[in-house]
Amino acid sequence: MGHDTQNETPAGTPAGKGTGKPRDTARDRQMGTALRSVYQQTVEEAVPDEFLALLGKLD
């Protein structure tokens, strides 16, 4: 029941470093843009009235 650490990325080591695979910076950039877009849409989304009513009951 040992721990297999061969396939794990060491803490503090960026993914792709030391694996012999070049990083795909264009793909990384696209992923970052997509994540920021989803986050921004979530932040701007209105809070449903039902949820606000529940929060009001906590006071």
- Pair of tokens at residue 6: 């061969």
Predicted pLDDT of residue 22? 78
- Pair of tokens at residue 7: 């396939």
Predicted pLDDT of residue 8? 55
Return the higher-pLDDT residue of 30 and 18: 30
pLDDT band at 23 (very low <50, low <70, confident <90, very high): confident
Are 9 and 15 spatial neighbours (Cβ–Cβ below 8 Å)?
Answer: yes
Q: What is the mean pLDDT of residues 1-29?
A: 67
Answer whether 0.95 is exceeded by the pTM: no
What percentage of the chain carries pLDDT values higher than 70?
A: 66
Are 35 and 42 spatial neighbours (Cβ–Cβ below 8 Å)?
Answer: no
Nearest to 18 by CA among 30, 31, 32, 6: 6
